[in-house]
Structure 1
Amino acid sequence: MKPGYRQLLRTPGAWAFLLPGFAARQPFAMLTIGIVLLVEHTTGSYGTAGSVAAVTGVSMALCAPRAGRLADRLGQRAVLLPGVVLHSAAVVALVALALAHAPVWALFAAAVPSGATVPQVGPMVRARWAVALHSTGTPSSSASPLMTTAAAFESVTDEFTFVIGPVLATALCTAVHPAAGLLTEAALTLVGGILFAAQRSTAPVPHRPAAGARVKHPSALSVPGVRALAVAFLGIGAVFGGMQVSLTAVTQDIGRPGLSGVLYGTFAAGNMLAGVVYGAISWRRSPRSRLLAAYAALTLATAPLWAAHAVPLLAALGLLVGLCIAPALITGYTLVDALVPSATRTEAFTWLTGSVALGQAVAVTAAGLLADHVGPHAGFTVPLAGTALALAVLMGLRGRLVPHSRGVVAAGVIGHRPPVKVD
Structure 2
Amino acid sequence: MKSYLAVLGSPGAWRFLAPAFLARLPYAMLQLGILLLVQWSTGSYGAAGIAAAAAAVAQALVGPQTGRLADRYGQPRVLIPQVVLHALALGGLLALAAARVPALPLVAAAALAGASVPQVGSMVRARWAHLLGRSGRLGTAFAVESITDELTFTLAPVLLVALSTGFSPVWALLMALVMVVAGTLAFALVRKGAPEPMPVRVRSQGGVLRLRGVAVLAVAFVALGTVFGSLQVGITSSTAALGEAAAAGPVYAAFSGASFAGGILYGVVRWRIGAPARLVATLGLLSAATAALTLAGSIPLLYGGAAMAGFVIAPAVITGYTLVETLVPAEVRTEAFTWLNGSIGLGIATGAAVAGQLVDRFGATPAFLVPPVTTALAALLVLTFLRRLRPATESSSARELVTAP
CA contact (8 A) 1:23 1:192 kept: yes
CA–CA distance in 1 between the matches of 2:296 and 2:12? Answer: 46
Superposition pairs of residues 40-189 of structure 1, within 5 angstroms:
40-42=39-41, 46-134=45-133, 143-189=134-180
CA–CA distance in 2 between the matches of 1:286 and 1:354? Answer: 25
Q: Unmatched 5+ residue regions in structure 1?
A: 135-142, 209-214, 412-423
Deviations 1:130-164 (A, max 9, x none): 12124xxxxxxxx3111111111111111111121
Aligned to 1:417: none
Match of 1:292 among 280, 285, 307: 280
Q: Give identity over the alignment, percent.
A: 47
User: Aligned partner of 2:28: which letter?
Assistant: A
User: Aligned partner of 1:293: which letter?
Assistant: A
Q: Unmatched 5+ residue regions in structure 2?
A: 399-405
Cα drift, residue 109 of structure 1 = 0.6
Question: What's the TM-score once normalised by structure 2's chain length?
Answer: 0.89
User: Aligned partner of 2:82: which letter?
Assistant: G
CA distance change for structure 1 residues 12 and 186 in 2, over 3 Å: closer, same or farther? Answer: same
CA contact (8 A) 2:227 2:371 kept: yes
CA–CA distance in 2 between the matches of 1:298 and 1:101? Answer: 43
Cα drift, residue 77 of structure 1 = 0.9
CA–CA distance in 1 between the matches of 2:91 and 2:248? Answer: 24
CA distance change for structure 1 residues 345 and 297 in 2, over 3 Å: closer, same or farther? Answer: same
Cα drift, residue 381 of structure 1 = 2.8
Superposition pairs of residues 292-331 of structure 1, within 5 angstroms:
292-331=280-319
Superposition pairs of residues 262-411 of structure 1, within 5 angstroms:
262-404=250-392, 409-410=396-397
Q: Which moved more, 1:102-111 or 1:277-286?
A: 102-111
Q: Which moved more, 1:43-52 or 1:116-125?
A: 43-52
CA–CA distance in 1 between the matches of 2:269 and 2:159? Answer: 32
Structure 2 residue matching 1:294: 3-state secondary structure: helix
CA–CA distance in 1 between the matches of 2:43 and 2:378? Answer: 33
Q: Which moved more, 1:390-399 or 1:116-125?
A: 390-399
Structure 1 residue matching 2:392: 3-state secondary structure: coil
CA contact (8 A) 1:169 1:180 kept: no
CA–CA distance in 1 between the matches of 2:81 and 2:237? Answer: 36
Match of 1:207 among 198, 204, 227: 198
CA–CA distance in 1 between the matches of 2:385 and 2:89? Answer: 39
Question: What's the TM-score once normalised by structure 1's chain length?
Answer: 0.86
State how many pairs are aligned: 395
Aligned to 1:139: none
Over aligned residue pairs, what C-alpha RMSD do you find?
A: 2.5
CA–CA distance in 2 between the matches of 1:244 and 1:64? Answer: 24
User: Aligned partner of 1:269: which letter?
Assistant: G
CA–CA distance in 2 between the matches of 1:97 and 1:239? Answer: 32
CA–CA distance in 2 between the matches of 1:251 and 1:177? Answer: 26
Q: Do residues 224 (structure 1) and 212 (structure 2) align?
A: yes
CA contact (8 A) 1:371 1:378 kept: yes
Q: Which one has the bigger helix percentage?
A: 2
Aligned to 1:420: none
Q: Which moved more, 1:313-322 or 1:55-64?
A: 313-322
CA distance change for structure 1 residues 254 and 36 in 2, over 3 Å: closer, same or farther? Answer: farther
Aligned to 1:419: none
CA–CA distance in 1 between the matches of 2:144 and 2:79? Answer: 22
Cα drift, residue 403 of structure 1 = 0.2
CA–CA distance in 2 between the matches of 1:75 and 1:200? Answer: 10
Aligned to 1:29: 28
CA–CA distance in 2 between the matches of 1:251 and 1:95? Answer: 32
